[in-house]
């Protein structure tokens, strides 16, 4: 196992020169961010949580204006900086809900698309997580993953996360919010969330996060080996 992984890593350095893109899409609180971070850390490539772009836009818009309307968001979108993506408040539920609504706006998505597509070029490759990475942002991604989990499990995870942040909200409210978010994401006209036919599905419902790393590495390793074999033919 270790020998195989070392080979994958060694080949990976060569492949990254050609911009290795790993797209991780999925539902809210499914663990897609955790999956993407595991991949980035293990294989030594950059990571971008694209959802933070929309959350940061929501946060900065409300910080400057009373409402996060499309008009107001467009006034601040070009002023977004890297430091705007690190504020812990971005994880608050209200910014997630506003981000979801802003993400339905084609003009907003188009303006943030160029940032996302340029990101891997800064480090010769990357893993990105979001809801339309494999379908819109990088349809040419060499490896595509779709992460999901049962709604009740996702609700428990998000509820625990929010409690740790000091937010007071019931489990029922969290579950209802996630369900509504799923419906918005899957049914929006612009870049809807969907599981692509060429994506590997990872259902984290019954996978403890303590066991997730091993499984994710094995999946990506297998996908990468098939890429390497295909390129050598």
List the domains of the chain with CATH numbers.
11-221 (3.40.50.300)
Identify the DSSP state of 18.
Answer: T
Strand-pair partners of 20: 125
**Structure tokens of 173?**
């409210």
- Work out whether the CA dihedral 215, 37, 105, 135 comes out positive or negative: negative
**Percent of the chain beyond pLDDT 90?**
68
**Percent of the chain beyond pLDDT 70?**
90
Decide if pLDDT at 217 tops 90: yes
Dist CA 5 CA 80 (whole Å): 38
Decide if pLDDT at 9 tops 70: no
Decide if pLDDT at 225 tops 90: no
Q: Read off the pLDDT band of 43 (50, 70, 90).
A: confident
Q: Considering only residues 104 and 2, tell me which one the structure prediction assigns the higher pLDDT.
A: 104
The upper half-sphere exposure of residue 86, i.e. CA atoms within 13 Å in the direction of its Cβ, equals: 3
Q: Are the C-beta atoms of residues 26 and 32 closer than 8 Å to each other?
A: yes
Decide if pLDDT at 124 tops 90: no
Q: Read off the pLDDT band of 231 (50, 70, 90).
A: low
Q: Which has the closest alpha carbon to 137: 23, 19, 20, 17?
A: 23
The length of the chain, given as a count of residues: 233
pLDDT tens readout for residues 70-79: 999 999 999 9
The pLDDT mean for the chain works out to: 88
Decide if pLDDT at 232 tops 90: no
Given this model, what pLDDT does residue 228 score? 66
b or e along 79-114 (b: 16 or more beta carbons within 10 Å of the residue's beta carbon)? ebeeebeebeebbbbebbbbbbbbbbbeebbebbbe
């Amino acid at each position: 196992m270790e020998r195989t992984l070392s080979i994958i890593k060694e080949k990976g350095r060569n492949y990254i020169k050609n911009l290795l893109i790993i797209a991780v899409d999925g539902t809210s609180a499914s663990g897609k961010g955790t999956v993407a971070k595991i991949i980035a850390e293990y294989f030594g490539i950059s990571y971008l949580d694209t959802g933070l772009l929309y959350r940061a836009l929501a946060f900065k818009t409300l910080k400057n204006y009373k409402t996060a309307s499309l008009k107001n968001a467009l006034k601040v979108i070009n002023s977004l900086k890297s430091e705007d993506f690190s504020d812990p408040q971005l994880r608050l539920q209200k910014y997630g809900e506003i981000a979801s609504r802003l993400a339905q706006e084609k003009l907003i998505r188009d303006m943030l698309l160029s940032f996302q597509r340029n990101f891997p070029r800064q480090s010769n490759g990357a893993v990105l997580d979001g809801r339309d990475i494999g379908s819109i942002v990088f349809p040419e991604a060499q490896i595509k993953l779709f992460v999901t989990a049962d709604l009740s499990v996702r609700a428990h995870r998000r509820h625990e996360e929010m409690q740790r942040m000091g937010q007071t909200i019931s489990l029922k409210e969290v579950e209802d919010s996630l369900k509504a978010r799923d419906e918005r994401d899957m049914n929006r006209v612009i870049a809807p969330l969907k599981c692509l036919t060429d994506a590997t599905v990872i259902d984290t419902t019954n996978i403890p996060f303590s066991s997730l790393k091993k499984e994710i590495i094995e999946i990506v390793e297998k996908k990468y080996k098939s890429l390497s074999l295909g390129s050598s033919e």
